[in-house]
Structure 1
């Protein structure tokens, strides 16, 4: 089950550096017009997921979803045709329930993996279920294929704290890391200054060795941890999430500036930054290496290189500009002025 097992087989598995996109199904897109997101709505937005460039969809909020249902089979087939994997977040406690009864139906119907809550697997019950499905993956906080890691969020926007959690996560012999950054910002709106660390941390996260877990709306810079309906288009709530009439006052009217439609053609938008970053990450030969080495950097800054590659990621969390490391600039979270990295900015160089 551990990453070390995969290293012994030569070719790396599909999940090794995958970008997983968590969809809270009920809040993503309403396909049948009842005001609640569903699989039909998700399938209707597959073009967006392909445009974004994710490798896997992680379905959350799936209570009541039947793995044998026709709509799930259709979603799975369309995702696989688009070369995207489908995973499911499940609450499986092997101490109170039989994992085989919960997991086997999903595995038998072709799901590619799971996000599981338990940290431990008493008597190897979950591992025994997965033994017959060697290409499937488990993400979780425990000793699974991918270790779900929120330490980048906990560290805050401070270079030294971030360096410590990165070193700690990559320094041990445990599973491959799956980096996640569920925001702690509970405000209902964001201004440009509030988006600055969000954009910088996106580049830090995507530069690191390991998989990445994005939560839907993260790529739009949406504020808050409570996920309310995804804003797609238009000037008024529910911004294309549903055609149902009703009270949509829970969706802030100022989210008109965060919709997919408003950001898609704006090269300076947060969505465009994520799209460019994901495309570069998947296609540029510099994104290799399973370790990082650190360079000397000014106070409240850091720069690391992925060992075995030419990729350098630099971050400035100080209040003043600092010199960029030498190299060709691939991407930056904010416009770079000459040879200096502005405050609150991250950059990729080769």
Structure 2
């Protein structure tokens, strides 16, 4: 058994402490609720707003500060609600506007703030605007709200450019005009039923400013912005030959992209822009978010926030989204995507603090969400391979025990770092990905548009278990669930973990209580001398210096000794008999 050697940066201050009166969002822990899968009040197998409202005390007791609700708007549900037909009403499957009002007021009464999802890159093809665009025809003001173009080739039978859909297949669909002839094409970076808005049209900007005001008037405390980096497309819509995926490891980073074409190389040289796909991270998005920030800042109630879902690299470009006059938070997907290895984790943490501090923003840590394989399973896979977009029974299976062990340690690291954090429903139970779901139940358009080559996101969206011996594991009053629950989920149910020492649920409750009491989200961060080799070790200190907490994770094969005098307050797993920290275990210790 050995103790690791410090690296050269072991005494470096990573991040200075925030003042004690910093706004709530700088250190908030926000819990993501995927409404279809959290709690079903009426037994139809689909979660709903009354079900959420009834179980909000669970989240108060868990110790989070706010909730984020994935879309609950009127929708044909071709992409589980991310295809919005009406941004100002609730889909009947979830309830009504009065149900939403009650949810918001109940949450506020429990001390929980409420964020809702905003989907501004595209609407549903069932949206009144898009139906009007189809009826009005080429050149009309109605079509100008979306990205319609003439096709290439004789008769316009080829798409306007070569852009694919993130979900598989082409990114363009040709319409049939009112006279029955083949007509223009419309862009849909996602599903065919999700036409992209044209954000060069002022009507689009005015509409979304109005939508923000509508929900602020109903009392919401902020917005998570879907595909925040995708609203503006490069002028001319040039062809692109690199990858554009969002949901697996082959995303839009320069490192992952295929070599650009000659034309793209020339464009990059002229603009100095780097090899960014023309549909992502265009500079024009920032004017949109400056306007939105002004809308929120003008509201009577202060401190309403915007959080960006922006799959952007490098971190310096992501930081542009959280400048002082733009968004408040942006998910740290670089941290989420980092393999279970100490060196890459230290690099991600260092870079994240540096780039966000440069613009005065907090780092927003996250490990799981509704779009990625749950980290209790992801960390049980071969860490030399890219992160998969879903797992099926005929593919390599995670090591469940190893994955959960690492997931608990990763969570302790995340929650021990200054900044804000997001927790995805069920991760506090240690829920694994559903990997044995029969294909006939899969609903993710990614699975269907790629003919099963990409498994997709259904495995992380399965209704969560509340009571082991109840119908649908306590999800609702009947056995119905919109996606089947694995047999293994019963052992993870809330009633099997609540009050049980050492359970993942009680670990989360304890970590969140200490994090809040010690204001760790507002603390400073410095490398501890133990940080190096296979160890990540950060000292989180209060602004007044009265409290110093060592946040240490051992990712190596040998156990690690803690500093003399350190008192362990939390551990993600059992320590060795001599008090050393074993492999894949994290601790918080007072110094």
Aligned with 2:291: secondary structure?
helix
Query: In the TM superposition, what is the alpha-carbon distance from 1:244 to its structure 2 partner?
Result: 2.8
Greater relative contact order (CA < 8 Å, ≥ 6 in sequence) = 2
Matched, 1:50 2:50: no
Match of residue 267 from structure 1: 501
Query: In the TM superposition, what is the alpha-carbon distance from 1:234 to its structure 2 partner?
Result: 2.1
Number of residue pairs matched by the alignment:
343
Matched, 1:37 2:60: no
Out of 142, 152, 166, the residue aligned to residue 335 of structure 2 is: 152
Aligned with 1:311: secondary structure?
strand
**Structure 1 gap segments, 5+ residues each:** 1-6
Query: In the TM superposition, what is the alpha-carbon distance from 1:304 to its structure 2 partner?
Result: 1.1
Out of 191, 210, 221, the residue aligned to residue 430 of structure 2 is: 221
Out of 206, 219, 222, the residue aligned to residue 113 of structure 1 is: 222
More strand by share: 1
**Structure 2 gap segments, 5+ residues each:** 1-17, 75-87, 91-95, 122-197, 230-284, 311-320, 369-373, 379-389, 393-397, 434-458
Out of 367, 372, 395, the residue aligned to residue 181 of structure 1 is: 367
| Mean Cα deviation higher: 30-39 or 293-302 | 293-302
Distance 1:323 1:122, change over 3 A: same
Is the 2:554–2:586 Cα contact (8 Å) retained in structure 1? Answer: yes
Distance 1:285 1:106, change over 3 A: closer
| Mean Cα deviation higher: 230-239 or 290-299 | 290-299
Distance 1:247 1:16, change over 3 A: closer
Match of residue 89 from structure 1: 117
Q: Distance in 2 between matches of 1:108 and 1:85?
A: 14
Out of 4, 9, 22, the residue aligned to residue 12 of structure 1 is: 22
Query: In the TM superposition, what is the alpha-carbon distance from 1:299 to its structure 2 partner?
Result: 2.2
Aligned with 1:111: secondary structure?
coil
Is the 1:17–1:209 Cα contact (8 Å) retained in structure 2? Answer: yes
Q: Distance in 1 between matches of 2:471 and 2:529?
A: 47
Is the 1:26–1:61 Cα contact (8 Å) retained in structure 2? Answer: no
Query: In the TM superposition, what is the alpha-carbon distance from 1:61 to its structure 2 partner?
Result: 2.7
Match of residue 313 from structure 2: none
Query: In the TM superposition, what is the alpha-carbon distance from 1:10 to its structure 2 partner?
Result: 7.9
Matched, 1:276 2:497: no
Match of residue 135 from structure 1: 303
Match of residue 344 from structure 1: 584
Q: Distance in 2 between matches of 1:13 and 1:89?
A: 21
Match of residue 334 from structure 1: 573
Aligned with 1:262: secondary structure?
helix
Match of residue 66 from structure 1: 89
Q: Distance in 2 between matches of 1:287 and 1:39?
A: 30
Distance 1:69 1:285, change over 3 A: closer
- Show CA shifts across 1:281-301 (max 9, x none): 111366642433342345211
Query: In the TM superposition, what is the alpha-carbon distance from 1:154 to its structure 2 partner?
Result: 1.1
Is the 1:273–1:333 Cα contact (8 Å) retained in structure 2? Answer: yes
Aligned with 2:536: secondary structure?
strand
| Mean Cα deviation higher: 321-330 or 107-116 | 321-330
Is the 1:277–1:331 Cα contact (8 Å) retained in structure 2? Answer: yes
Match of residue 556 from structure 2: 318
Is the 1:138–1:146 Cα contact (8 Å) retained in structure 2? Answer: yes
Query: In the TM superposition, what is the alpha-carbon distance from 1:193 to its structure 2 partner?
Result: 2.3
Query: In the TM superposition, what is the alpha-carbon distance from 1:11 to its structure 2 partner?
Result: 2.5
Query: In the TM superposition, what is the alpha-carbon distance from 1:226 to its structure 2 partner?
Result: 2.2
Distance 1:10 1:339, change over 3 A: closer
Aligned with 1:340: secondary structure?
coil
After superposition, residues 193-208 of structure 1 pair within 5 angstroms as 193-208=402-417
Aligned with 1:92: secondary structure?
coil
Q: Distance in 2 between matches of 1:249 and 1:22?
A: 19
Is the 1:40–1:71 Cα contact (8 Å) retained in structure 2? Answer: yes
Q: Distance in 1 between matches of 2:306 and 2:483?
A: 37
Aligned with 1:238: secondary structure?
helix
Match of residue 292 from structure 2: 126
Is the 1:286–1:310 Cα contact (8 Å) retained in structure 2? Answer: no
Is the 1:320–1:342 Cα contact (8 Å) retained in structure 2? Answer: yes
Matched, 1:78 2:135: no
Give the alignment's Cα RMSD to 1 decimal.
2.4
Query: In the TM superposition, what is the alpha-carbon distance from 1:125 to its structure 2 partner?
Result: 2.9
Is the 2:418–2:520 Cα contact (8 Å) retained in structure 1? Answer: no
Q: Distance in 2 between matches of 1:90 and 1:286?
A: 29
Out of 210, 214, 226, the residue aligned to residue 101 of structure 1 is: 210
Structure of larger gyration radius: 2
Matched, 1:305 2:305: no
| Mean Cα deviation higher: 198-207 or 131-140 | 131-140
Match of residue 168 from structure 1: 351
